[in-house]
Amino acid sequence: MSKKSGQNRVIITGGRLSGLAIDTPGEGTHPMGMRERLALFNMIQSYLPGADVMDAYAGSGILGIEALSRGARHAIFVDKDELVLQTIEKNLYKTRIEPSEADTLKLNIKKIGQITGVSYDVIFADPPYDKYKPEMVTILVPLVSKGGILVASTPEEAPEIPGFKIITQRKYARCHITIYQREE
């Protein structure tokens, strides 16, 4: 990552926006590394075309933006921090993602139960590693559509979740990536 204007930047690895750099909010966020992100998106590419995506604990928004770049229909970026959401909105503008393709939602994930009547084909759960608890992933389970996937990036092996099968688990340095699929 290179520095520019005091912020870190990350590069979109694939799709229509491949090679573009986006900003991160800086301190307190940990964007998934390029190597891990590339591997992840290679594993889930078949789930993305036309998908509705949630980027929970959104940080820079790189996971949702990468999903849109690779064919997702719509992404919602959820975070409790106003600076994070402002950074994501700037990144969406910078990448020329259409307003109809993305929304931001200021919400503490602990209150995710307030979102009702919707489900997502792909949910990314990349919570802050220094505050990680398994519930930070499992709280998102009710929002995964039947046959949809939940992608967890955690500092330790993620838990088993009833009603979901683990498609794959991979370890990259400090990052454990687990891809769950909701049973139909």
CATH of the domain at 26: 3.40.50.150
Nearest to 125 by CA among 110, 112, 142, 138: 138
pLDDT higher than 70, residue 2: no
Q: Quote the pLDDT of residue 6.
A: 42
- Residue 10: what residue type? V
Q: Quote the pLDDT of residue 148.
A: 97
What mean pLDDT comes out for the span 129-149? 93
What mean pLDDT comes out for the span 35-61? 95
pTM for this model (two decimals)? 0.92
Query: Residue 58: what are its φ and ψ, rounded to 5°?
Result: -60, -30
User: In the chain, pLDDT over 90 holds for what percent of residues?
Assistant: 74
What domain range includes position 83?
3-182
Domains contained in the chain, number? 1
Q: Quote the pLDDT of residue 25.
A: 85
pLDDT higher than 70, residue 3: no
Q: Quote the pLDDT of residue 26.
A: 73
